[in-house]
Structure 1
Amino acid sequence: MGKFPKYRVAKASQLLIITGAGIRDIKIAKKAWILPGQSYAKFDISPVNYTFEVQAMSAEKLPFILPAVFTIGPRINDKESLYKYAKLTTCQEKDSTHMHELVKGIIEGETRVLAASMTMDEIFRGTKEFKKEVFDKVQLELDQFGLYIYNANVKQLVDVPGHEYFSYLGQKIQMEAANQAKIDVSEAKMKKEAEVAKANADLAMKKAKWAKDSQMAQIEATKAVALREAELQKEVEVMNAFTQTEKLKAEFLTKASVEFETKVQEANWELYKKQKDAEAILYQKEREAQAQKAIAEAAFYARQQVADGELYAKQKEAEGLVAIAQAQGVYISKLMGAFGGNYGAVRDYLLINGGTYQELAKINGEAVKGLQPKISIWTGANGSGEGGDGGAMKEVAGVYKMLAPMLETVHEQTKYVPPSWVGTIAES
């Protein structure tokens, strides 16, 4: 511990472990300043080889020796594991055999526990699996110290003196292998002999087949010659028949051709005749259609002329009605002016002037023929039947005064009620 800071650098296979002021637990670094109040130490991180001969015992209480070499070192890629290993090395400085005893104890303990759960036969026959189990269980225990098994070489299992189980088991396996080899040789020999016998049999069968095929080939050649002769003879006869057939076909074809041409000519003439007849009928029908079309067009033209005349007459009649209506409008307008705008006076004047009341009187007279009607006598405007002074308006006023008793008389005689626009009669 010094009064001034010191800069320290660890070697390639080492790290610095620093404790003291300002550091809560420990600090690990490759290079660092060592401040006043701090202390440091270097620890090696190189893997170390551990050689053991583990004495274990199987489930049958049979002892054996497991020679092994483990290469173990800190897990430098894991920060937590590195801290565990750094603390472990601090304890190791006090006792140099501490690390060796720790690793040996873990390996021997896990190997013995595993061997005690297996029979000797399982350990011997499953040596590879047994070694893997030992490796996994030892690694699990070393994790708590930040150590990692970089390599493990477990050698062949060795007998403990006085317990030569593996030797006897090896001899047994060798004898079984020798016997199996003898059996395999015998089986191979028998198989070889069987293959030779089979090959001889196959050869004999092939020779028989070849002889049979040779005889069949000779027979087939003879038959082929005969068949070929028959085929040639058949071809000759077929050609003769074909020649005769062609001759007969030529004769019949000539006769048939003449008859066919004759029939064709007759059919053509008949078709020509029917075509001409059809054309004549078609021409006649066309002429008749043209005549009917001309008649229809003439009738349509006549009807159109009549319709045009009627339309013209209607137009003129409508124009007359319009002129009459216009004249009547002027007439009514003049009357309204003459009567001082009195619509009732104008209406009564039109009824009287149009003979409406005279027509009513005539109808009533015809209706009461043969009856004994009640006679009413009424006078003019002045009571004497004569008009007084006042001109045209006085006459109209007199007529209007006579209208009420006249309507009452008509009602009494015929029960006729005049329209509301003429006047009303009170029921008695």
Structure 2
Amino acid sequence: MQYLIPFIPVLAVIVALVVLGLLVRGAVKLIWQVAEPNEALIISGFTRGNVGTAEGMDFKIVTGTGAFVIPGLQTVRALSLTLNETELQVNCVTSQGIQVVVQGVVIFKIGDSTPFIANAARRFLGQQAKMESQVYNVFEGHLRSIIGSMTMEEIIRERDKLASQVRSASGIEMEKLGLVVDSLQIKDLEDPTGYIQNLAKPHIAQVQMEARIAEATRNREAAEKEAEAASLIADAQSISAIRQSAAAANAQTAQANAAQAGPLADATARQQVVVQETEVAKLEADREEQKLQTSVRKPADAKAYAQRTEAEAQKAADISAAEARAKKTELEAQANATAAAAMAGATRVTGEAEAAATKARGEAAASAIKAKALAEADGIKARAEALGTNQEAVISQQLAENMPAIVAAAAEPFAHVGQLTVLNGGEGVNNMVGGILAQVGNYLPALTDALRESNASRTAKSSPQQVPQRPEGEAHAQ
């Protein structure tokens, strides 16, 4: 406590200042009044010569700002400027005599201008709750009046027009009350007599009919779409099944091909081996043919040619010798005839000379024929000897000489084909050529037998005959 004694004067000053501040604040609040944004201050009493007062009124209106108020000389009261709402439910009769209950709502407020605030202050200051009943009464009368001049159809179709007419008709009265209507809405129309319902029945029936038609149409279209969808589903399922079957078939084909790959490869290998063996056989046949030509045919041809040449040379020599002897004999006969003619007489010598010449010519012709026959006999004998010693070689030679004609005859049916398609590429060509060669091979035994018989028959027909010797007497007789 002894420590606080020096601070007691300071604390007393602080308390005095706080009390003074509170007193000043209360005094200022009493003197200076501020209006809220949604209210107007009505100041009555001493107004300093009506400055800021309404026309014809001894009070001051303050909105949105503040004003000094002299306590005891002036009174301040607040007038709310917020919105107010009144529900309407008015029994009316149309121009057709049809009873209708109109339900609506009116949203109103005190006007913002000074005249509206002044009118509302004089009528509703301190009793603003009465504004709703006053507004209801105003709109009730105008609604009945306006609806009485309209038909039910107009009321239904032109509610905005009805609301506009009611607002226009009540505008002057609402202005006198200092009120402004922000909104008037007709919410509903009650029809105790059922006129609206009956009025709507034809339209309802039409709408129901159109609705049923539309529903039926939609159902039909939906059924068609469902049928189309089902058809598409069936098609898709069918296509899927076909593809699955094709895939299964392809798989089975692949399996079968895989299973046949080994035997097919073996068969292909064997076929290639056969083709190679056939080629080797052809080469061996060609080699044998070359050997045959080298070892048999050419020597035989050379021997036969030599024999023919010797025979022809001998023939020519014999013919020349015979001709020479005949010439010599003729000359000798002529000489003898000349000599004899000289000795014995021309007639006898001439006859003998002619006889001798004729005999010499006969002998020369006979010698020439004999030499020719002997040469031909030697050629036939050489051919017969060649056929006897190596007949197969001669036949092989003849087959080799005629082989192009034989192969051409075997392939002759293909000459009449306009366009030939060979499958399997080179293998197909090899198969076709092998078939032709096989066909030629089938004919070779028959051709060999035919050639053998032909050669035997030709040899038999061409065997040398003994040339008959003409008797000298016959030649002489000639």
Structure showing greater relative contact order (alpha-carbon pairs closer than 8 Å, 6 or more residues apart)? 2
In terms of fraction of residues, the more helix-rich structure is 2
Q: Tell me the TM-score normalized by structure 1.
A: 0.38
